[in-house]
Amino acid sequence: DADVTQTPRNRITKTGKRIMLECSQTKGHDRMYWYRQDPGLGLRLIYYSFDVKDINKGEISDGYSVSRQAQAKFSLSLESAIPNQTALYFCATSDSTGSSQPQHFGDGTRLSIL
Amino acid sequence: RKEVEQDPGPFNVPEGATVAFNCTYSNSASQSFFWYRQDCRKEPKLLMSVYSSGNEDGRFTAQLNRASQYISLLIRDSKLSDSATYLCVGRGFGNEKLTFGTGTRLTIIP
């Protein structure tokens, strides 16, 4: 079983719809992240959370919201989806012990907004 | 200027050859660096951390040059399975935000 699981893996939806992407992890990490990846732009951070009561905006948080329901779960919502939110979305986790800890990624969610 | 810059490639290299790519970073406060590999339509996976003294993991060698603000990745005796996009990643001290390069695409040719 994957340590970081994202659902759904693929989603096609229409402009204006509300969408939630889920992420759960079994690594026991306290830090979780949401990124989007677009061709030619690399990965960009949307939101991150250091623990259940901590939520922080990343560089491109507009149009998105998150919820850290438990240490193991971090969901990303698009309240009213628009076509330029079409992208590949990744959830990641990391351990809090020191700045040298790498991040571990889920399999990704491919989201298309028509 | 992007915080982390990489040559996007593609690098097309014959099997068995040695290939190297560099990545430059603009934030001198960056403390930690990593190389990730990403296969087409898959998630990034950690290849190796980069230490100040340089480090090696099998056929892979990573170097950090703080004076010139670049990191490098050397792959020796390249295999077909090395074909992927390699992402250069940096992080500042006490800053949980990772900054990703856009990646260098490598194709190993039989």
Q: B68 to chain A, minimum CA–CA distance in Å?
A: 21
Q: Would you list which residues of chain B are within 8 Å, Cβ to Cβ, of chain A?
A: 8, 31-32, 34, 41-46, 49, 87, 91-98, 100-103
Confidence of residue A71 (pLDDT cuts 50, 70, 90): very high
Residue with tokens 């969610």: A109
| Interchain pair A90, B43: CB under 8 A | yes
Other beta carbons within 10 Å of B40: 8
- CB contact, 8 Å: A48 with chain B? yes
What is residue A54's three-state secondary structure? strand
| Interchain pair A48, B96: CB under 8 A | yes
Q: State what percent of residues in chain B have pLDDT above 70.
A: 95
* Model confidence at B95: pLDDT above 90: no
Question: Counting Cβ atoms within 10 Å, is residue A70 exposed (0-12), middle (13-18) or buried (19+)?
Answer: exposed
Q: A20 to chain B, minimum CA–CA distance in Å?
A: 19
Alpha-carbon span B25 to B1, nearest angstrom: 10
Q: State what percent of residues in chain B have pLDDT above 90.
A: 63
* Model confidence at A1: pLDDT above 60: no
Q: What is the pLDDT of residue A61?
A: 96
Confidence of residue B92 (pLDDT cuts 50, 70, 90): low
Phi/psi at B80 (5° precision)? -55, -35
| Interchain pair A99, B42: CB under 8 A | no
Highest-scoring range by mean pLDDT, A72-76, A96-100, B37-41: A72-76
- CB contact, 8 Å: A102 with chain B? yes
Q: Which two tokens stand for residue A11?
A: 């989603």
Alpha-carbon span B100 to A114, nearest angstrom: 28
Residue with tokens 């491919």: A110
- Residues from chain A that touch B45, judged by Cβ atoms under 8 A, are 105
Over residues A31-69, the pLDDT tens digits come to: 999 999 998 888 999 999 998 989 999 989 999 999 999
Alpha-carbon span A29 to A50, nearest angstrom: 9
**Long-range CB contact pairs, A51-57, < 8 A, 24+:** A56/B96
